[in-house]
Chains A and B, each alone.
Chain A
Amino acid sequence: MKCGTDSHEAGAQALLVKAQFALFAYVCALVGDTEDARDVLQDANLKILRALPDYDASRPFMPWAKSIVYFEVLSYRTRKSRSHLTFADQSFFELVASDAAVVLEETDQDMAFLERRMRKLSGVMREMVEARYLGGMEVKALARERKCSANAVSLLLFKARRSLAECIREARLKGVSP
């Protein structure tokens, strides 16, 4: 059911806005570098917008959008020097892409969980996460401020993300509403 009407496109655009978190997570998973992921998603968004008249509204939006994003990621991979690719290994990249197409679907619901779970982080972890993600501080700058190594900061952020992931997973399993 292809339809190029204004209402069709407006509906599809609304779906695209709603999909931004999940698409961003998807690109991050395939690209690794956050700044590059933003650029790739921006380019992919433009391609999706241009392709909206061809979108078949009787089919799920997300797989269609992800297929366009995926090709944008492939294009990025051909442009980027192999030594700078997070996934230089093509087979591992394809495995990640296959998993990411499925497991990163519900990112928007996770955002609601995240807000509540942030409060459960220990003081230092929460401070680091806020400084890094809300304050936009680089890991090296955080390390200088905290008088520790960049590796130590990265490891602490890793643990914070893991702790948040576990809290969210647990809340989901218990059927807690966000």
Chain B
Amino acid sequence: MNPARTVLDEYEDLTALILDGAACDAERARFNEIAREFPEFRSIWLEQVRLHALLVCRGGGAPAYGSMRTSSFAPLKRCRRNTG
């Protein structure tokens, strides 16, 4: 463990792992510990998740804007790809 690393660094790393679907239970537990102690870090989560969702949508992992037929929401599951 690099002693210069801060809790914020750790939280950012864990945020990345969670959003990328690469976090294990222990890492999720640690993420929760930090989140409980530093609730102000949630702005980082929201910033990351906003971009993550945009990129997933841009990649076709969610319905395309204006092109989805409301009679069929099935395309939402159409692209169950490895995006996190």
**Could you say which interface size class chain B belongs to?**
35 or more
- Complex contacts, A84 vs chain B, CB 8 Å: 25, 28
Residues of A contacting B59 with CB < 8 Å?
Answer: 133-134, 136
- In the complex where A29-B49, A45-B76, A88-B32 touch, is A14 in contact with B70 (Cβ < 8 A)? yes
B contact patch SS: helix
Contact assessment for A20 and B53 in the assembled complex, using a CB-CB cutoff below 8 Å: no
Partner of B50, one of A25, A32, A34, A41: A25
Q: Which of A38, A115, A151 contacts B80 (CB 8 A)?
A: A38
Does A51 sit at the interface, judged by CB under 8 A?
Answer: no
B interface list, Cβ under 8 A from A: 12-13, 15-22, 25, 28-29, 31-32, 35-36, 39, 42-43, 45-63, 65-66, 68, 70, 73-74, 76-77, 79-84
Can you name 20 A-B pairs with beta carbons within 8 Å?
A21-B53, A25-B53, A35-B21, A38-B77, A83-B29, A87-B32, A88-B32, A95-B39, A96-B42, A96-B46, A104-B50, A111-B57, A133-B83, A134-B60, A136-B83, A150-B22, A154-B13, A157-B20, A158-B16, A162-B51
